[in-house]
Chains A and B, each alone.
Chain A
Amino acid sequence: MLNNLLSHILSLSIWVPILAGVAVLALGSDKTPNATRWIALVGGLAAFAATIPLYTHFNFAYGGFQFQEGIRWIPAFNINYHLGVDGIAVPLILLTSFTTVIVVIAAWEVITLRIAQYMAAFLIMSGLMIGVFSALDSILYYVFWEAMLIPMFLVIGIWGGPNRVYATIKFFLYTLLGSLLMLVAFIYLYYQTGSFEVVDFYALPLGLKPQILIFMAFFMAFAVKIPMWPVHTWLPDAHVEAPTGGSVVLAAIALKLGGYSFLRFAMPISPDAAHYLAPMMITLSLIAVVYIALVALVQQDMKKLIAYSSISHMGFVTLGFFIFNSLGLEGAIVQMISHGFISAAMFLSVGVLYDRMHSREIADYGGVANTMPTFAAFAVLFAMANSGLPGTSGFVGEFMVILGALQANFWFAFLASTTLIFGAAYTLWMVKRVFYGAIANHHVAELKDINKREFLILGVLAIMVLGFGLYPAPIIEITHATVLQFISQMHNKIPSVVSAATY
């Protein structure tokens, strides 16, 4: 029985949250708000529990796909329901199911309108994103990838701010446009290999020109999602308008879908193009790191500032990918996980303030530390982590990427490390303006400190940020074998370990 469950653990990770979401929709309503919230929380916790065996039963020494399961799905086109994870996907899946629980708790008293639909949207989205991280058939992957746009579209549009319609339609169309080109690439690869299996794509030898076209199609899809400069403009809009939960999921997980997909598709399928286009990718990454950090510096709106900070941090991730050494790659993965916790915490902190003041303008605040001391302590910790202070998880990833970049080229490392200055500048300046100084106005004077629920979510995230900052080994260990295999795969097109589908 246990073994049977274990062999379907990925399906469980995907479908438990989706079914929980359907159950919330069916059973919950605004007339029974507390029951709805509890159903959602139980569903979220069950979904989180379902993903834990992925870590505890993972074979750390093996770099290929594990927990594989598959059935034939659409034989007409040789499309299979094929799932499997490697060391890169597992931490991201755990991050997803963990964040979903946080989002459900964070919405507890905040969302009072159409609670069931809100909770269901996040639970279903969680299952779909786990699906993206674990699909090994490209059409299955594509279905999950696109389907997750629908709940996010609704979340921003229904519960968002005043300009929500513009933001959510922009978000949807940007992402859709990029993804459709990826679909064309998948179909092209299908006619080259006769299947939609990712591992078959890896094994396909391709000339440089088709590789470049395929890489560009993938680039359109993933660069929008990460987002990379210059296709990042949807993100600040979406973040500003989205409700807190939406911002958390966008920043903590949705952006990682793009980063992960570079590692799963674009780079291993077209490695020569990846090497060939690396200068372009590194340039774009460095522009994101430096230029977007400067843009963040001048923001008046807290959420917008964090949104730009996210783009800047994701620039580190893509930089780590395209310097092609294990230090940079592992650093990028650590950075993705760490940014998941830190950005979630930052957006939740803004959410705490917004729920009380209904303003995200930095100018409306000042001296919050006087009235909310506990909250200020958390906020300062997360701000430090965001600017990459040693001892927090934010430092580990950035430091590894900078070291990796140093191996590749001194100037990459030099430009990348300016983030330690700019990041500290925009984050700490915001903290200074919001939390310190004299109490700015009577609204701030009337603020109440965080309640137990808010303490709980911020506390858990603080433990994560500090924990991975002091002891990042769990992430590095689980990814190490996969990263080594990935690096070798990037050097020869035929992968060393290709696990054949067994059905």
Chain B
Amino acid sequence: MDNIQYDMITALPEIIVLSMAMFILILDLFLTDKTRFFIYVLAQFTLFAAAYFTLTTHTPSVGYSFSDMFVDDALSDVLKLMMYLSTSLILVYTRNYIKLRGMFRGEFYALVLFALLGMMIMASGQSMLTIYMGLELLSLCVYSLVAFDRDNVKATEAAMKYFVLGALASGLLLYGMSMIYGATGTLNISQIAAALIDPTLIQSTGSHPVLILGVVFIVSGLAFKLGAVPFQMWVPDVYEGSPTAITLFIGSVTKLSAFAMVIRLLAQGLQPLALDWQGMLLIMAVCSMVIGNITAIAQTNLKRMLAYSTISHIGFLLFGLMSASLNGYASAMFYIASYVIMSLASFGIVLLLSRKDFEADKLDDLKGLNQRNPWIAFLMLIVMFSMAGVPPTLGFYAKFTVLQAAVQAGFIWFVVFAVLMAAIGAFYYLRVVKLMYFDEPVDHTPIQPSADMKIVLSINALALLALGLMPQSLMTLCAYAITHSLQYPK
């Protein structure tokens, strides 16, 4: 099946996104401010078309293409569908915000689509080089997006920090990849796994230390992209400094691609070395939970608080991954999917509350929201309880699945530790609820969201409740994606 036609079919969604992104760039030259809305429609249409082709070309089997550098399997398809959906929500939530700040330009949509393309390639990467290329495409687009509001000093600073640290992390990742390549002689993920199982490899070459060093560098690079402690420094600054529209992008959909990269590299390629990286993930998980949850308590800026909350969530995600079993990966995927839904809703609400020259990113800006607009306060209530992991919301099942995977893997005392951290974490989510429900409003400006945003955001937040009552569908989807894509020799 190694022919150009098959290659094209497997990469059809990528090709669509790529061509449309370029088309939007060119088309933008011919549009005026009045007609620019067309670009927004076009971008949404691109996502829809990509979703359509991803669905129609989907098979449960694994297909390799482009000389085995690219893979079309259930995991990549499910992750891509989640990416389209999240990107589509992001475009809805950000439209008003960027319009009010003079960022409603064709480049914004082109950059978002290119970033999406990078993430799609990461999800489908079957060679370390493909994954790295996807990562760089994503990163470069995100750096520019953070700096997109050119005259915003804070955003420029955030972009600079993000870029310098991001480049360093990419370097670490690449260095780790080169060591693995040196030891195994291949860049292909499945061939790496096969080479690592081969007992003659380590005996004949004595290359175990090189492999371990490679794993250390790769794990460091991944930890940076996820924002896990001790590579979390950039997260709060970038979250706070970026325009909220971009924070929404970084805080939600990019986590899906980071998850994809972790699965491809660790769970697929380096699974035979699981015993070596499990310990690293464990330490990072524990530190992320402690630092994320405790530092979040001290924050006064909502975006910064959510940034630290992200770090603690990543700690829980690592808990699922650390189990290094299909159950663990499926629960980690369930966790990240749930987290993305929560994150979209939380930043969506921040965007909804913002106005021209008012960012609504202070915790105090939420004061008395229940009196100003009970419905939005209720939506935020659901999101906060979901993030805290209180049933009957989706966040509870997310925590439940990773905890059960960790118990199955025998980490029961770490699970006890994790739930103690979750209880500490509940405090700052409760404080948000307190501000909205128990305090008097200080700002009485009426909240007038656009109809489409209000409807989509309501569905987004209520989905947390609906999926909390009926979590089976999403769980099945994640289990399906993982079990059909990761094939371990028995």
Q: Which residues of A contact B (CB under 8 A)?
A: 73-77, 117, 139, 142-143, 146-147, 149-150, 153-154, 157-158, 164-165, 168-169, 172-173, 176-177, 180-181, 183-184, 187-188, 190-191
**B438–A157 CB distance below 8 A:** yes
Contact A187 B423 (CB under 8 A): no
User: A181-B419, A188-B407 given as contacts; is B430 within 8 A of A172 (CB)?
Assistant: yes
Contact pattern, B 415-426, Cβ under 8 Å of A = 1, otherwise 0: 110011011001
Most chain A beta carbons < 10 A, residue from B370, B374, B385, B423: B423
Given A169-B434, A180-B422, A188-B407, A143-B479 contact (CB < 8 Å): no
Classify the interface of chain B: helix, strand, loop or mixed: helix
B408's contact among A177, A181, A191, by CB below 8 Å, is which? A191
- Residues of A within 8 Å of B404, CB to CB, are 77, 187, 190-191
B403 near A: Cβ within 8 Å? yes
B391 at the interface (CB under 8 A from A): yes
Q: Is the CB of A147 within 8 A of B426?
A: no
Verify if B373 is at the interface (C-beta below 8 Å from A): no
Q: Are B391 and A74 in contact (CB under 8 A)?
A: no
A-B contact pairs, 14 of them (CB 8 A): A73-B472, A74-B471, A76-B479, A143-B391, A146-B390, A150-B385, A153-B433, A154-B433, A158-B438, A176-B390, A181-B416, A184-B403, A188-B407, A191-B408
Asked, given contacts A74-B472, A173-B426, A188-B407, whether A149 binds B419 with beta carbons under 8 Å apart, the answer is no
Are A180 and B479 in touch, CB under 8 angstroms? Answer: no
Within B131-185, which residues are at the interface with A (CB < 8 Å)?
Answer: none
Task: Report if A169-B403 is in contact (Cβ < 8 Å); known contacts: A74-B475, A176-B390, A191-B408.
Answer: no
Tell whether, in the assembled complex, residue A187 and residue B407 are in contact, meaning their CB atoms are under 8 Å apart: yes
**Inter-subunit contact A173/B423 (CB<8 Å):** yes
Closest to B378 in A: A25
B407 near A191 (CB under 8 angstroms)?
Answer: yes
The 9 A-B residue pairs whose C-beta atoms are closest, nearest first, are A180-B419, A143-B391, A177-B423, A157-B438, A76-B475, A187-B407, A146-B391, A187-B404, A74-B472
B476 at the interface (CB under 8 A from A): yes
| Residues on the A chain within 8 Å of B412, using CB | 184, 188
The answer, among A149, A154, A169, for a CB contact under 8 Å with B437, is A154
User: Is A76's CB under 8 angstroms from B422's CB?
Assistant: no
B423 & A165 in contact (Cβ 8 Å cutoff): no
Task: Name which of B390, B392, B403 has the most chain A CB atoms within 10 A of its CB.
Answer: B390
Q: Given that A74-B472, A76-B479, A149-B390 are contacting pairs, would A177 and B403 also be in contact in the complex, using a CB cutoff of 8 Å?
A: no
Count chain A CB atoms within 10 A of each CB in B391, B431, B437 and give the residue with the most: B391
B400 at the interface (CB under 8 A from A): yes
Q: Which of B427, B433, B479 has the most CB of A within 10 A?
A: B433
Query: Judging by beta carbons under 8 Å apart, are B416 and A183 in contact?
Result: no
User: Residue B234 at the A interface, CB < 8 A?
Assistant: no
Instruction: Other than A74-B475, A184-B412, A184-B419, give 17 A-B pairs with Cβ distance below 8 A.
Output: A73-B472, A74-B397, A76-B479, A142-B391, A146-B396, A147-B390, A157-B434, A158-B438, A165-B434, A168-B434, A168-B438, A173-B427, A180-B423, A183-B419, A184-B415, A187-B403, A190-B404
A177 to B420, CA, bound (A): 7
Q: Which residue of the partner chain A has the closest CB to B385? A: A150
Q: How large is the interface on B (under 10, 10 to 19, 20 to 34, 35 or more residues)?
A: 20 to 34
Whether the pair B476, A169 counts as a contact (CB closer than 8 A) is: no
- Give the distance to chain A from B100, nearest Cβ to Cβ, in Å: 32
Given contacts A76-B475, A158-B437, A173-B423, contact A187 B415 (CB under 8 A): yes
Is B430 within 8 A of A147, CB to CB? no
- A interface footprint on B372-403 (CB within 8 Å = 1, 0 otherwise): 00100000000001000011100011001101
Kindly state the separation between the CA atoms of A352 and B261 in the bound complex, as whole angstroms. 63
Cβ 8 A contact of B438, one of A73, A76, A165, A187: A165
Report the nearest A residue to B408, measured CB to CB.
Answer: A191
Q: Which residue of A lies closest to B389 (CB)?
A: A180
How many angstroms from the CA of A157 to the CA of B430 in the assembled complex? 11
Whole-angstrom distance from the CB of B167 to the nearest CB of chain A? 40
Contact check: which of B420, B427, B430 meets A153 at CB < 8 Å?
A: B430
Which residues of chain B are near A143, meaning CB under 8 Å? 391-392, 396
Q: How close is B337's CB to chain A, nearest CB, in angstroms?
A: 14
For A150, the chain B residues whose CB sits under 8 A away are: 385, 390
Contact partners of A183 in chain B: CB under 8 A: 400, 403, 419
Assembled-state Cα–Cα distance A168/B433 (Å): 11
Q: Determine which residue in B385, B400, B408, B475 has the highest number of CB atoms from chain A within 10 A of its CB, and name it.
A: B400
Contact (Cβ within 8 A) A184 B416: yes
| Known contacts A73-B472, A184-B415, A191-B407; is-contact A176 B396 (Cβ 8 Å) | no
B476 partner residues in chain A, CB cutoff 8 A: 76
A71 smallest CB distance to B (angstroms): 12
Shortest beta-carbon distance, B149 to chain A, in Å? 37
CB proximity of A14 to chain B, nearest CB, Å: 12
- With the chains together, A150 CA to B423 CA distance in Å? 14
Closest to B426 in A: A176
- In angstroms, Cα B412 to Cα A315, docked, is 32
In the complex, residue of chain A having the shortest beta-carbon distance to the beta carbon of B479: A76
Asked if residues A176 and B437 are in contact (CB atoms below 8 Å), the reply is no
Interface string of B455-482 (1 = CB under 8 A from A): 0000000000000000110011001000
User: CA–CA, A139 to B404, complex, Å?
Assistant: 12
CB neighbours (8 Å) of B427 from chain A are 169, 173
Residue of B nearest to A183 (CB): B419
Q: Chain B residues near A169 (CB, 8 Å)?
A: 427, 430-431, 434
Chain A: minimal CB distance from B248 (Å): 26
| Closest Cβ–Cβ distance, residue B141 to chain A (whole Å) | 36
Chain A residues lying within 8 Å of B401, measured Cβ to Cβ, are 77
Contacts A146-B396, A190-B404 known; A76 to B419 CB distance under 8 Å?
Answer: no
Contacts of B416 in A (CB 8 A): 181, 184
How far does the alpha carbon of A146 sit from the alpha carbon of B401 in the complex, in Å?
Answer: 17
Q: How far is the CA of A188 from the CA of B419 in the complex (A)?
A: 14
User: Cα distance A213–B424 when bound, in Å?
Assistant: 22
> Closest residue to B472 on the A side, CB-wise?
A74
A142 (CB) vs chain B CBs: closest residue? B391
Contacts of A184 in B (CB 8 A): 403, 407, 412, 415-416, 419
**Cα–Cα distance between A289 and B390 once the two chains are bound (Å):** 33
The minimal Cβ–Cβ distance linking A243 to chain B, given in whole angstroms, is: 13
| Chain B 356-372: CB-based contact to A (< 8 A → 1; otherwise 0) | 00000000000000100
A342 to chain B minimum Cβ distance, whole angstroms, is 31
Question: Measured between alpha carbons, how far is A154 from B384 in the docked complex, in Å?
Answer: 13
Chain B residues within 8 Å of A187, by CB: 400, 403-404, 407, 415
Docked CA distance A157–B432 (Å): 12
A139, B437: Cα distance in complex, Å: 29
CB-based nearest B residue for A76: B475
Contacts of A154 in B (CB 8 A): 433, 437
**Cα of A183 to Cα of B403 in the assembled complex, Å:** 9
B408: chain A residues at CB < 8 Å are 191
B437 cross-chain contacts in A, Cβ below 8 A: 154, 157-158
In angstroms, Cα B385 to Cα A154, docked, is 12
Q: Which residues of A contact B475 (CB under 8 A)?
A: 74, 76
Q: How far is the CA of A236 from the CA of B390 in the complex (A)?
A: 24
Q: Which residues of A contact B396 (CB under 8 A)?
A: 143, 146
Rounded to whole Å, the gap between the CB of A121 and the closest CB of chain B is 11
Query: In the complex, what distance in Å separates the CA atom of A169 from the CA atom of B403?
Result: 25
Shortest Cβ distance from residue B469 to the other chain A in the assembled complex, whole angstroms: 9
CA distance A148 to B479 in the complex (A): 30
Bound-state CA distance A184–B404 (Å) is 8
**In the assembled complex, how far is the CB of residue B397 from the closest CB belonging to chain A, in whole angstroms?**
8
